[in-house]
Every structure is written in structure tokens, then in C-alpha cells.
Chain A
Amino acid sequence: DTAVSQTPKYLVTQMGNDKSIKCEQNLGHDTMYWYKQDSKKFLKIMFSYNNKELIINETVPNRFSPKSPDKAHLNLHINSLELGDSAVYFCASSQDLVGGRWAKNIQYFGAGTRLSVL
């Protein structure tokens, strides 16, 4: 069984369209993340959710809206796609943040969604 699964794996779309990427984890983790990896392989956090609550929201355009229906799912919806949104988007999860035990921030990544905006 895949621990962190994302769909779709590839997404090709036109500028201006709205699209969603789904992520599910079966590890029982409390925290989930979205990362963006650009063409230079730079991995940057976008959002993190702990138990369905938004913990961190980096400087990301408000066209990006994460939604967490439950702690096993974190979806990413993108409105009005732009050329600069083309990248690989990774979902990840880690164990509970509470307690500050740093051994629990090891992150497990999904296979990624390669988004191409034409």
C-alpha cells in the first residue's frame, strides 16, 4: 500500500483554468503538507495542516486554496492557473507536532504531481 498518494500524477492544462490535486495518507499522521518544486529542484513549503487546521501558509497567492476534509486528506485547489504555476507539487505527511518531539517531523512524500500550464 502506498503511504502517501497523490492524484493525478500529471496535469496539463491551459492558463486560466481551475484544477485540483488530491492527497491521501494512510500512515495515521496528524500533519500534512504541500510543497512546490520548481524547475531548479528548489523544494519550498506552501502549506501545512495539523489535524485539519492550517498551521502555516507561506507566501502563496490566494489562488491556491488547500482543503483538509479530515486528517488523512489534504487537497490543493488552484484557481486561474498561470504559466508560473508549472512545477511539481508534492504532498507530504509527518507525525503529530504536539509535544515538540523533533523525532516526529520526519516527512513522507507522495510521488508528486507534475503540473504543466500552457
Chain B
Amino acid sequence: GQQVMQIPQYQHVQEGEDFTTYCNSSTTLSNIQWYKQRPGGHPVFLIQLVKSGEVKKQKRLTFQFGEAKKNSSLHITATQTTDVGTYFCAGPYGGSQGNLIFGKGTKLSVKP
């Protein structure tokens, strides 16, 4: 069945270091989304990428969608303690535009 894989599962960084999480889909995606879940919180939408090769930035966060629309990455420059949380990628599931299949997430911890 359709799968969305994320690596690494965990990442521990020193504050100020960069961080990257990678997402790979078993199928071509019409779009990919990224969500952030703070400890004890709920997933919150960050961004959606739609076009092949698309790159979007949100302050220190850079999101990329691969040319084949099967992979994506999230890069955080100079991490801060506020970046702590689990980052999920998600893509449309089962051909339906509404339903999403989520990756297992990358849990980021930042040491001050």
C-alpha cells in the first residue's frame, strides 16, 4: 500500500545548529504538506508544496518538493529551542485529495 517515510526518526541538535528531515513517498504526490506538533500539543499546518521542484521559505525554515514529486525536505537553519517538536510530512491518500497519509515524523530536540 501507499507509504510515506520520514528520516530520521529522532534528531538531537545543539541550539544554533541546522536540522533537516526528509520525506519519501512510495507514490507520486499531487502535493505535500508539513505539520509541526509541539510536545503535548496537536499537529499544526506549516506549509503546502504543489509544484515539482518547488522551494518555499518561512523565516529559518526551508521546504523543498522534489522534481519527481515523491520526496520533500524541511531544513531549519540555526535551530532555536522554540523549534522543538515533531515534524510530519503528509500527502494525499488513496487518490482522494482530502484524506492525508502522514509520515511517522521526526522528533527534534534542541539543547540550549
Contacts and interface: CB of A to CB of B under 8 A. Distances in A.
Contacts of B43: 43, 90, 107, 109
B50 interface: yes
B99 A103 contact: no
Interface in A46-84: 48, 50, 55-56
A109 B99 contact: no
Interface size on B, as a range, is 20 to 34
Interface of B: 30-31, 33, 37, 41-45, 48, 50, 86, 88, 92-94, 96-102, 104-105, 107
B42 A105 contact: no
Contact of B98 (A40, A97, A111, A112): A97
A48 B86 contact: no
Contacts of B101: 45
A101 B42 contact: no
Contacts of B44: 109
A105 B100 contact: yes
